[in-house]
């Protein structure tokens, strides 16, 4: 059996090596390393794939979130609501810009931001909501968009884990993760569902004005060369990364299907297990399984993880500490116990190997390794 990894990017590369190598070589031959043809080609193809009117390629997903917040013209003291159970980047950029992160609890089943908690957290200072489509499944956008509309708030979707996930509205309209709020952000970090070979990210919007503003911010606040109308940053997607992504985008649907197939295998194996809750599926969103995350019930999760590692099965804890309990984000407004669902999840989640190259022999081995230890 092939060694089991959380993510197997080597094998994935071997399967598309010719196209990748050709794409990278073409960039080197052209010497257009920044803002080259590879970037505009990928941008156009991603616009077509997602249905977003504008795709703005940037340096990484964290920058995407930061540029999005900068473009909305928020001022220090403005409040931005975000879930406490997520990767740190979401709150980090809010804090960096001097805005006030307001964290809220998540739902036990979907692990996504709780709509009820968002409603309760809104104040006169609230300006934006940043829902995270955690692990590859969209948060309840229809409800969140209704709240945002009623209170005149922006929505910036953190779709860093959810590219390709499709959300269905009550009227049957379907939209992709990242294309529903005013702005959507995604990451091409290597292990993400659409990953490049270094750092990369993109911003989505359907708003022409915001798009122009964000393009300028990502490029030193510059539209006309050496004339700076706003304070910006330097955050661009390299041409070499764009060339890699352009090849991999053609395989994205196939990659999603491979992840979903592995997830179905796990689902069936663990169905109705007394100590295992498999990822709950939202009726409104497809799940692209950036992570396949179990909730363990009455199990010593950390001991289980160690035992699995000894058996050659890697497993990860996303995320062990909610934002409100992180040292850098200590805040008199929040105490341990304030967000019981997130705290409970942090203590019981376990993410299993999930990638596009998992074969049945490996899946069987993983499932048996877990079963034997329960």
Ligand X SMILES: *Cc1c(COP(=O)(O)O)cnc(C)c1O
Binding site for ligand X (CB under 6 A): 60-62, 86-87, 89-90, 132, 158, 160-161, 187, 189, 199, 201
Shortest Å distance, C-beta 307 to ligand X? 27
Alpha carbon distance 142, 211 (integer Å)? 23
CB-CB contact of 349 with 294 (8 Å) = yes
50 or 90: CB nearest ligand X: 90
293-307 exposure pattern, b = at least 16 Cβ within 10 A, e = fewer: bbbbeebebeebbeb
Shortest Å distance, C-beta 176 to ligand X? 16
255 or 265: CB nearest ligand X: 255
Shortest Å distance, C-beta 4 to ligand X? 22
DSSP string computed for 152-209: T-EEEEE-TT-TT-EEE-TTS-EEETTSSSSEEEEE--TTSSS--SS--EEEEES-HH
CB-CB contact of 31 with 56 (8 Å) = no
90 or 241: CB nearest ligand X: 90
Shortest Å distance, C-beta 131 to ligand X? 10
3-state secondary structure of 272: coil
52 or 196: CB nearest ligand X: 196
Give the DSSP H/E element, type plus range, for residue 79: strand 79-83
93 or 304: CB nearest ligand X: 93
Alpha carbon distance 205, 214 (integer Å)? 10
CA distances from 95 to 65, 88, 100, 102, 343 (A): 12, 11, 6, 10, 22
Place of tokens 């053609």: 250
182 or 370: CB nearest ligand X: 182
> Closest-CB residue for ligand X?
61
Shortest Å distance, C-beta 246 to ligand X? 18
Shortest Å distance, C-beta 353 to ligand X? 17
């Amino acid at each position: 059996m092939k060694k089991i990894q959380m993510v197997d990017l080597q094998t994935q590369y071997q399967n598309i090596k010719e196209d990748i190598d050709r794409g990278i070589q073409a960039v080197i031959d052209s010497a257009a390393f920044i803002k080259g043809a590879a970037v505009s080609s990928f941008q156009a193809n991603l616009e077509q794939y997602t249905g977003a009117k504008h795709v703005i390629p940037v340096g990484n997903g964290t920058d995407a979130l930061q540029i999005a917040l900068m473009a909305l013209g928020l001022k220090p003291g403005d409040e931005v609501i975000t879930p406490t159970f997520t990767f740190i980047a979401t709150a980090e950029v809010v804090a960096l810009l001097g805005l006030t992160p307001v964290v809220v609890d998540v739902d036990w089943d979907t692990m996504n931001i709780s709509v009820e908690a968002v409603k309760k957290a809104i104040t006169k200072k609230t300006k934006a909501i940043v829902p995270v489509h955690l692990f590859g499944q969209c948060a309840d956008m229809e409800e969140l968009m209704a709240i945002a509309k009623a209170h005149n708030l922006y929505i910036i979707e953190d779709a860093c884990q959810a590219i390709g996930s499709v959300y269905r509205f009550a009227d049957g309209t379907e939209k992709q993760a990242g294309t529903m709020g005013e702005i959507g952000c995604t990451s091409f970090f290597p292990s993400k569902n659409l990953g490049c070979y270094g750092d990369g990210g993109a911003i989505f919007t359907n708003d022409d004005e915001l798009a122009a503003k964000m393009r300028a911010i990502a490029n030193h606040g510059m539209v006309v060369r050496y004339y700076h109308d706003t304070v910006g940053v330097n955050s661009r997607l390299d041409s070499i990364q764009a060339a890699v992504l352009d090849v991999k985008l053609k395989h994205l649907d196939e990659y999603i299907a491979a992840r979903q197939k592995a997830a179905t295998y796990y689902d069936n194996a663990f169905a109705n297990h007394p100590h295992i809750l498999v990822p709950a599926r939202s009726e409104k969103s497809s799940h692209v399984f950036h992570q396949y995350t179990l909730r363990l019930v009455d199990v010593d999760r950390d001991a289980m993880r160690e035992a699995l590692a000894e058996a050659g099965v890697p497993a990860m804890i996303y995320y062990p500490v909610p934002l409100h309990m992180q040292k850098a984000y200590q805040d008199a407004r929040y105490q341990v116990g304030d967000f019981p669902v997130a705290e409970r999840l942090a203590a019981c989640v376990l993410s299993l190997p999930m990638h596009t190259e998992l074969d049945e022999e490996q899946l069987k081995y993983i499932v048996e390794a877990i079963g034997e230890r329960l």
